[in-house]
Amino acid sequence: MIAAVCVLLNLVSFRYFFRIDCTEYSIYSLSDATHKILRSLPDPLRIRIFFEENLPPEYLHQRRYLQELLQEMKTAGGGRLKVEFADMKTPESRQEAERAGIANLRFTAVRKDKFEVQEGMMGLAMYYEDKKEVIPALTQVSNLEYELAGRIIKLTRKIRPVVGWTTGNSEQSPPEPLEQYLSQNFELRRINHLNTHGWRDGSSEYAGLSALMVAGPKSPFSDTGLRAVDEAILNGVPTALLLDLYDVQMGNFFARKVETRLDRLLEGYGVQIREGMVADAQNVPVQIQTQQGFFSFQTIVNFPFIPRITNLSKDHPVTRTLQEIALPFVAALDVRDTTGVTVLASSTEESYRIARPFIVNPTMRIDIEGAEHGPFAVGMAIQGRRRSAFADTPALGVSVRAVRPAPTEGPIRLVVFTNAGFLDESRGSGGSNLAFAANLVDWLAASEDLIAIRSKGQTFRPLEKVSDQKRNLIKASNLFLMPLLVTLIGGVRWQVRRIRRRRWEAGLS
């Protein structure tokens, strides 16, 4: 009877799929964003899977996970998502897979006590109208929901958003993983502000952008460049200003002040970058080389000037799903008008603002005597009407003859961080910095559906800081309490056995 019920439940589950997911972030269930994407499919979308069955055993769980995920997506799609598994035993299916662009992978397997090399396919193709997206190799399925959702958005999107990335002032280029993401989901346009003349003569490269990134410029913007960025912001182009106040050479840890003149724009919007650098007791350890005599050693030391930021806004889409980010050599922000301002990231209470950070060597003692105590805001989002920094300044050059005057104020969507070094994943963030950068672009470009999916399962749980007294108490408890507990249990057990023996002897007599 029980076996019959189990068989019946299995048959029902193939048609009516459900899962009880007790994980903290529901990492084994579809997110609400994925449900929304699938429910909004305007036309049928077909997913065809090319996954061979005779692959090494370690890849079988990936096939099972893929089947379960696609079954749940198919149910959420309400009939508009079709899922097909190709029969890879037929030569027609293999030829179809090759035409679709599925990779023919090589695997090493152990059979009959020896290593063997075999070939196989494990990929999928997605078809929508006359467009196609391919995942050629499903070797990793940990972020598969995000990969599928991103490609569905790309296939069904009528107009591809354009993200501008400024050049011309030694800005930091997008790292390869971020550039790959941007190229996949957006049209990435590199903009040299020296070649743009502003909005007023109709030739601005900033026109038509869905988002604008200004990441870590190292030289001053010209008046023309400042006005072009200001006009783009006031004309409604969502913008991120990621500004390094200091350029630190990791070889000698010398901090050079960076002058970009973009602080003038920020002051016009009511934001001020404060002098100095934030040092935090909660930070990212780094590996440095030390010399002792003739010998060199690699040593891991704490680096207070690379704060590990865990005070992130849980009310804003950019940071809501993140646990931590690492912001090297960051400065503090002040805001004059808090209307429409959300502080996205701030340092801990055990942080200090070092006013003159000429040398930031992690092996040197930081003098915090007289230093201002944290926490400090290091990143914020600004929405609402703001006044132009050039509202009372005469126009320059071609702008004087412009048909359309420059705006003196307008509704802005702006994110400001006093650091662009977080784009460099080598500075220890466990992948959170890259997710943060992608979240930032998505929010600016009003493409927030992928934010919640991208950050699923990314957790950071630092050890709670305890006082020396509490730490010594815990050590003493571990040292003496456990032996005492074992002795007590042994004594109780010995006493119970003694009582039983006496009763047994009394019964015999």
Q: Would 490 be classed as within a structural domain? A: no
pLDDT at 417: 95
Confidence of residue 392 (pLDDT cuts 50, 70, 90): low
Residue 131 shares a structural domain with residue 196: no
Residue 133 shares a structural domain with residue 174: no
The gap from C-alpha 2 to its chain's centroid, in whole angstroms, comes to 47
pLDDT (tens digit per residue) in 125-158: 999 988 899 999 888 777 788 888 888 988 888 8
Residue 109 shares a structural domain with residue 141: yes
Residue that finishes a domain, picked among 421, 437, 454: 454
Q: Looking at this protein, which amino acid is placed at residue 232?
A: A
Higher pLDDT, 408 or 336: 336
Is the pLDDT reported for residue 404 higher than 60?
Answer: no
| CATH code for the domain of 302 | 3.40.50
pLDDT at 21: 62
Is the pLDDT reported for residue 402 higher than 50?
Answer: no
pLDDT at 195: 54
pTM, two decimals, is 0.75
Confidence of residue 27 (pLDDT cuts 50, 70, 90): low
Q: How many domains does the chain have?
A: 2
Residue that finishes a domain, picked among 430, 454, 478: 454
CA distance 312 to 19: 31
Residue 132 shares a structural domain with residue 213: no
Residue 259 shares a structural domain with residue 226: yes
pLDDT at 279: 92
Question: Which residue range forms the structural domain that includes residue 190?
Answer: 162-454
Q: What is residue 170's three-state secondary structure? A: coil
Residue that finishes a domain, picked among 102, 126, 153: 153
Residue 62 shares a structural domain with residue 107: yes
| CATH code for the domain of 12 | 3.40.30.10
Range of weakest confidence among 13-17, 33-37, 163-167, 475-479: 13-17
Q: Which of 112, 114, 119, 116 is nearest to 50 (CA)?
A: 119
Residue 19 shares a structural domain with residue 63: yes
pLDDT at 401: 35
Rounded to an integer, the average pLDDT of 67-95 is 89
Residue 227 shares a structural domain with residue 337: yes
Residue 218 near residue 420, CB atoms below 8 Å: no
CA distance 56 to 67: 17
- Average pLDDT of the chain to the nearest whole number: 82
Residue 130 shares a structural domain with residue 193: no
Rounded to an integer, the average pLDDT of 189-196 is 72
